[in-house]
């Protein structure tokens, strides 16, 4: 409906009277409201539920964290165990995001440009980490990299277990953001470049990579956010050893279990800020890409 | 499209397959193998354990309500976001995605701070009126709703945008009411998107762990869901039961995935 209305407005001759023009201008500057009474009721009920479920609880975290002021943050963050957890989480999340940028792009490439029997199976397996319950993911990894490993790899309760769990749960993000873009990519430009004498590496670097960058960035942001916030898959796998394999989520949980709600809220509000930052960045990246067409 | 050389193609193919095999396929296969290494005894024992049976029942109940609520809420919000203009629409559409990148532990804490009966914002009032939210099923349903919230919306919104509203307008101009237009025009065209959304939400709801662990209090036999049982059994060295329950959860979630993969129409180029 909006599209047609805009069209009509655009093609209509400009009103001659200055009052009419002013009216139009004011109407454009304010957000339009096309809610009918039924829709407004639906929006109202939905917003009440959304507030009760998401907005008020998240506000409670910020409020509880803020009630202690800066001192609360200083006390929480200056705890060496918490600081070690933050350092581990951020290092591992960065590491895993870099790994995913490479592996995700390779897998997306293979899924789109390569042809071999069983490709559909690979395509479905990529989504398994999304669908698998996180606690099961931990158990699954433990069966190959735990004490009974058929490969003889005893990675449980080490830093490698954290890397492994994060790699598992973030596997689909970059694959699934890059894949559709790669599918839409026109072969003509690449052929033109090749016919003009560009080598394959040049074609990849100058033609393919630039068009994939926004998708890779979006996927990387999502996988970083997920890696920072991961909990379930680490429970059985990493052993949650203080100073060694304990991540931020586990610290928050420890604070909750010890009844230290203010400390938990302080740490949680930082995680929330990171999550919001990622969402806003993604929104901006996508808007920019959409504008460029 | 420019072909890459044979060796590069093989190298990339093997790299991708090897990575996915070592990270996902082999470990998942091993869990299936562990579950069935003594025949069906692991599964049979698990299904005879009242704790596990209670947990499975509770999981299904919580997932059912969470999916039902998210379905109604998701379809309503999707239609509002696509078909109507209102102030704050952009903010709302960004906020809808928040649950996807918030840690389950943070979700649990957020609900705890508002609804716990001791010093929560609304908890004491609700409990005084006989509604216990935290450490009971309402809290677990809310936590599950929270984490699965955007899934239906993310499936339905693109489809609504793509089909446009020509048919709806035609129906309206021919005298159909809002209800009739929704039931006979809008709903049939978004049917499959809604189905994918529901399947994905179901998989997510059955598997939620962190948020539910915090709000449920993890009481064995009462507020313990299937994922919490897996943790409990594994830590009690009852590996067989843990593997069997994991297998059931993995089986359902992978079945959901395969259903979506087959239902989703292949893109026509």
Domain containing residue B85: CATH number: 1.10.3720.10
- 3-state SS record for A168-215: HHHHHHHHHHHHHHHHHCCHHHHHHHHHCCCCHHHHHHHHHHHHHHHH
Q: Residue ranges per domain, chain A?
A: 33-67, 69-292
Predicted pLDDT at A30: 53
* pLDDT tens digits for range A147-179: 888 888 888 888 899 999 999 999 999 999 999
> Nearest CA to B83 among A33, A45, A132?
A33
* Range B43-46 contact pairs with CB under 8 angstroms and sequence separation of 24 or more: B43/B244, B43/B247, B43/B248, B45/B240, B45/B241, B45/B244, B46/B240, B46/B241, B46/B244, B46/B245, B46/B248
- Rounded to whole angstroms, the Cα distance separating A93 from A105 reads 18
Confidence band of B265 (pLDDT split at 50, 70, 90):
low
Report whether A189 contacts A211 (CB < 8 A).
no
Report whether B203 contacts A131 (CB < 8 A).
yes
Coil, strand or helix at B88: coil
Q: Please tell me the distance in Å from A124's CA to the nearest CA on chain B.
A: 7
Question: pTM of the full predicted structure?
Answer: 0.85
Q: Is residue B73 part of a domain?
A: yes
- Rounded to whole angstroms, the Cα distance separating B95 from A42 reads 18
Say how many residues make up chain B.
269
- Rounded to whole angstroms, the Cα distance separating A89 from A162 reads 9
B20–A278 CB contact, under 8 Å: no
B84–A132 CB contact, under 8 Å: no
On whether ipTM exceeds 0.85, the answer is yes
Question: Residue B263: exposed, middle, or buried by beta-carbon count in 10 A (0-12, 13-18, 19+)?
Answer: exposed
Dihedral, B215, B219, B220, B224 alpha carbons, nearest 10? -10
Domain A69-292 - what CATH class?
Answer: mainly alpha
Predicted pLDDT at B266: 58
Cα dist from A255 to A122, A228, A259, B158, B195, whole Å: 41, 17, 6, 40, 39
Q: What percentage of chain B's residues is helix, strand, coil (to nearest 5)?
A: 80, 0, 20
Measured between beta carbons, the chain B residues lying within 8 angstroms of A264 are: 109
* pLDDT tens digits for range A88-122: 999 999 999 999 999 999 999 999 988 888 888 89
For CA atoms B82, B88, B93, B96, give the dihedral sign.
negative
* pLDDT tens digits for range B184-228: 888 888 888 899 899 989 999 999 999 999 999 888 878 899 999
Q: How many domains does chain B have?
A: 1
Q: Is residue B257 part of a domain?
A: yes
Confidence band of B107 (pLDDT split at 50, 70, 90):
very high
- Nearest-CB residue to A279 (from B101, B227, B254): B101
The average confidence (pLDDT) of chain B is 88
Measured between beta carbons, the chain A residues lying within 8 angstroms of B16 are: 103, 106-107, 109-111, 122
Domain that holds residue B81: 53-263
Q: Is residue B86 part of a domain?
A: yes
For A149, which DSSP code? Answer: -
* Average pLDDT of span A285-291: 74
> Per-residue pLDDT for A180 more than 60?
yes
Q: Is residue B44 part of a domain?
A: no
Q: Is residue B209 part of a domain?
A: yes
Confidence band of A239 (pLDDT split at 50, 70, 90):
confident
Cα dist from A81 to A84, A195, A252, B65, whole Å: 5, 59, 12, 39
């Amino acid at each position: 409906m909006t599209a047609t209305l805009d069209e009509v407005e655009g093609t209509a001759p400009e009103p001659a009277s200055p009052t009419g023009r002013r009216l139009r201008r004011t109407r454009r500057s304010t957000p339009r409201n096309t809610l009918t009474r039924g829709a407004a009721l639906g929006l109202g009920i939905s917003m009440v539920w959304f507030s009760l479920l998401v907005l008020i609880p998240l506000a409670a975290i910020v409020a509880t964290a803020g009630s202690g002021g800066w001192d609360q943050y200083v006390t929480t963050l200056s705890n060496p165990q918490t600081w070690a957890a933050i350092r581990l989480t951020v290092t591992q999340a960065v590491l895993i995001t870099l790994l995913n940028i490479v592996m995700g792009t390779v897998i997306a490439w293979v899924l789109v440009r390569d042809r071999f029997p069983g490709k559909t199976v690979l395509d479905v397996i990529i989504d398994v980490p999304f669908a698998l319950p996180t606690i099961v993911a931990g158990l699954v990894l433990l069966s190959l990299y735990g004490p009974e490993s058929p490969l003889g790899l005893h990675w449980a309760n080490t830093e490698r277990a954290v890397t492994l769990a994060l790699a598992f749960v973030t596997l689909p993000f970059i694959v699934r953001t890059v894949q559709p873009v790669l599918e839409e990519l026109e072969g003509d430009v690449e052929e033109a470049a090749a016919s003009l004498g560009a080598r394959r590496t040049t074609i990849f670097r100058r033609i393919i990579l630039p068009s994939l960058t926004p998708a890779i960035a979006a996927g990387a942001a999502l996988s970083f956010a997920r890696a920072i916030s991961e909990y379930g898959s680490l429970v059985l796998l990493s052993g949650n050893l203080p100073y060694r394999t304990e991540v931020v989520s586990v610290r928050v949980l420890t604070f909750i279990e010890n009844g230290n709600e203010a400390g938990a809220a302080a740490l949680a509000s930082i995680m929330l800020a990171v999550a919001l930052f990622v969402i806003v960045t993604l929104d901006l990246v996508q808007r920019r890409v959409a504008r460029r067409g | 499209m420019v072909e890459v050389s044979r060796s590069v193609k093989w190298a990339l193919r093997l790299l991708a397959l090897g990575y996915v095999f070592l990270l996902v396929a082999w470990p998942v296969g091993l869990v299936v193998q562990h579950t069935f290494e003594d025949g069906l005894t692991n599964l049979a024992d698990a299904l005879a354990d009242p704790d596990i049976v209670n947990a499975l029942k509770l999981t299904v109940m919580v997932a059912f309500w969470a999916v039902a609520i998210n379905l109604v809420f998701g379809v309503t919000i999707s239609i509002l976001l696509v078909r109507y203009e209102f102030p704050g629409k952009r903010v709302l559409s960004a906020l809808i995605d928040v649950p996807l990148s918030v840690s389950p532990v943070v979700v649990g804490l957020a609900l705890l701070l508002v609804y716990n009966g001791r010093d929560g914002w609304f908890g004491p009032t609700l409990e005084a009126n006989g509604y216990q939210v935290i450490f009971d099923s309402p809290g677990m349903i809310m936590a599950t709703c929270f984490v699965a919230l955007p899934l239906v919306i993310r499936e339905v919104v693109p489809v609504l945008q793509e089909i446009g509203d020509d048919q709806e307008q035609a129906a309206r101009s021919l005298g159909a009411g809002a209800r009739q237009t929704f039931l006979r025009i809008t709903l049939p065209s978004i049917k499959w998107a809604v189905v994918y959304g529901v399947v994905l939400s179901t998989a997510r709801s059955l598997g939620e762990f962190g948020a539910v662990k915090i709000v449920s209090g993890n009481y064995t036999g009462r507020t313990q869901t299937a994922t919490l049982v897996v943790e409990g059994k594994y830590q009690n060295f009852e590996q067989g039961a843990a593997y069997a329950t994991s297998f059931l959860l993995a089986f359902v979630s992978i079945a959901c995935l395969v259903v979506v993969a087959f239902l989703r129409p292949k893109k026509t180029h």
